[in-house]
Amino acid sequence: MTMSRPSPSLAAALAVCIAALAACSGKNDGAAAAAETASAAASGAAGAASGPAAAASAPPVSVTLVRAQKRDVPVLLESTGTVVPLSSVDVRPQMTSVVSRVHIREGQFVRAGELLFTLDSRADEANVAKVRAQMARDEASLADARRQLQRSRELLAQNFISQGAVDASQAAVDAQTALVASDKAAVDAARVSLSYARITAPGAGRVGTIPVFEGSAVQANQTTLVTITRLDPINVSFNLPQRHLTDALAALKEGGSDVVATLPDKGATLTGKLQFVDNAVDAASGTVKVKAQFDNRAGQLWPGAFANVRMTVRTLKDAVVIPQAAVVQSPRGTVVFTVGEGNKAVPRRIEVLYAQGEDAAVGGLKPGERIVLDGRQNVRPGSTLVERAREGGGRASGAAAGASGAGSGAGRGRASDAAGASGPNGAQRGSTAP
């Protein structure tokens, strides 16, 4: 014969009756203590039965479900960077003179070798003419010395002069040849000084402010005539945490990882490549400076401007990915509710490996497992789950989950009131999150 177990509510009622009879009959303190012990035992049994058993007997919870997916997840680093040019050159004269002509205008793009300024070069032109005249005189003297050497050799063949006279003529020729070579070097030096009067662009770029005008006196290697900045391509400099240094160096060896720069004002995005990692970590901040290079033909990046930078430091291969909204933070740790046998809710402890945007790569789950998304706030371990279709995306389904959660919570509240009437412990256990 099978005996049915009395319900918790019946046990609680019997305990209350026993306590009342004992008080009315005036029993001794031992009988009253026994009644209190029986009442406490009945309350404990009712509270224990109000956990998974109460959840199983509660109305089904309407939820939306998603499946855990397996895919490669890029680990992104977000930072604020500063746009820096590849080169910025201050153009200064190499001679002290006066500006004769300005060939450029402010803001103009110039090519390498393009003429920028012309300085007064009359003194240098005169110096070049002087050294050329000196070289012509020495060349004439050299020609005369060579003729004298030729006559000396003819006279020596006829025994009219000694060998010493011929050697003296040869020495005169050699000395005059060296003098002519010196004159040629002087001409070249004068030409170099003359070339300083024509100031050309050292590289391609954009011209900045021009602080001098025609007639302005300039000092050699002191006066800044103009600054030329190269804008295409251009770099964005930002700081990388020390923990990502190894990943950045590995990416640099493989050709550089992708870096996305977003302008805060226009919202435009540009994609570049990691090009440089500094050779030291800043001890004060624990970061290392890195640079990424971007194509800037459209001129969207400007030197000195700020940009939001996002760089892929590494990739998690074959990671299990779930929506971040499905993750529940409970006193037992980070968990998600999975669907078990009989559509029962089963809490599963997980480890969040990386979270970005709406998704999170986690450990502790297998690909394909069904996870509770919307309505998880109404789910308890052992709750019966009823799947509903997601409507209008995540936000719409979240609103529907809130509405159904209110109804389900009210139903469970009425069911747990009867079980928790024996004491506050039962009510507390009925409302504890997993």
Give the model's pLDDT for residue 402.
36
Q: What's the whole-model pTM score?
A: 0.60
Distance between CA atoms of 134 and 180, rounded to whole angstroms? 9
Helix (H) or strand (E) holding 349, with range, is strand 345-349
Give the model's pLDDT for residue 6.
47
Tens-place pLDDT, residues 80-114: 999 999 999 999 999 999 999 999 999 999 999 99
Give the model's pLDDT for residue 251.
84
Give the model's pLDDT for residue 37.
41
Give the model's pLDDT for residue 52.
55
Helix (H, G, I), strand (E, B) or coil at 192: helix
Give the model's pLDDT for residue 151.
92
Hunting for tokens 């959840």 — which residue is that? Answer: 55
DSSP type of residue 59: P
Please report, in tens digits, the pLDDT of each residue of the chain (434 residues total): 344 444 444 444 554 455 454 444 443 444 444 444 444 444 444 444 445 555 556 788 889 999 999 999 888 888 899 999 999 999 999 999 999 999 999 999 999 999 999 999 999 999 999 999 999 999 999 999 999 999 999 998 998 888 999 999 999 999 999 999 999 999 999 999 999 999 999 999 999 999 999 999 999 999 999 999 999 999 999 998 898 888 889 888 888 788 999 988 777 889 999 999 999 999 999 999 999 999 999 888 999 999 999 988 788 888 999 999 899 988 888 999 999 888 888 998 999 988 888 899 999 899 999 999 988 888 888 888 888 887 654 433 333 333 333 333 333 333 333 333 333 333 333 333 33
> What is the bridge-based pairing of β-strands 97-102 and 109-110?
unpaired
Give the model's pLDDT for residue 57.
64
Distance between CA atoms of 307 and 82, rounded to whole angstroms? 6
Contact 353, 345 (CB under 8 A): no
Distance between CA atoms of 200 and 189, rounded to whole angstroms? 19
> What is the bridge-based pairing of β-strands 258-262 and 269-277?
antiparallel
Tens-place pLDDT, residues 189-243: 999 999 999 999 999 999 999 999 999 999 999 999 999 999 999 999 999 889 8
Tell me the backbone φ, ψ of residue 101, rounded to 5 degrees: -155, 145
Hunting for tokens 């030291």 — which residue is that? Answer: 280
Give the model's pLDDT for residue 53.
55
- DSSP characters over 245-276: HHHHHHHHHTT--EEEEE-TTT--EEEEEEEE
Give the model's pLDDT for residue 58.
73
In degrees to the nearest 10, what's the CA dihedral of 94, 97, 103, 109? Answer: 30
- Report the largest interatomic distance among the alpha carbons of the chain, rounded to a whole angstrom: 171
| Domains, the chain, ordered by start | 8-37 (no CATH), 58-69+318-415 (2.40.420.20), 77-86+230-317 (2.40.30.170), 93-228 (2.40.50.100)
In sequence order, what E strands does 86-156 have? 88-91, 97-102, 109-110, 115-119
Give the model's pLDDT for residue 1.
37
ω into 60 cis (within 30 of 0): no
In sequence order, what E strands does 86-151 have? 88-91, 97-102, 109-110, 115-119
Instruction: Report the b/e string of 379-416 with b at 16+ CB within 10 A.
Output: bbbbbbbeebebeeeeeebbebbeebbeebeeebeebb
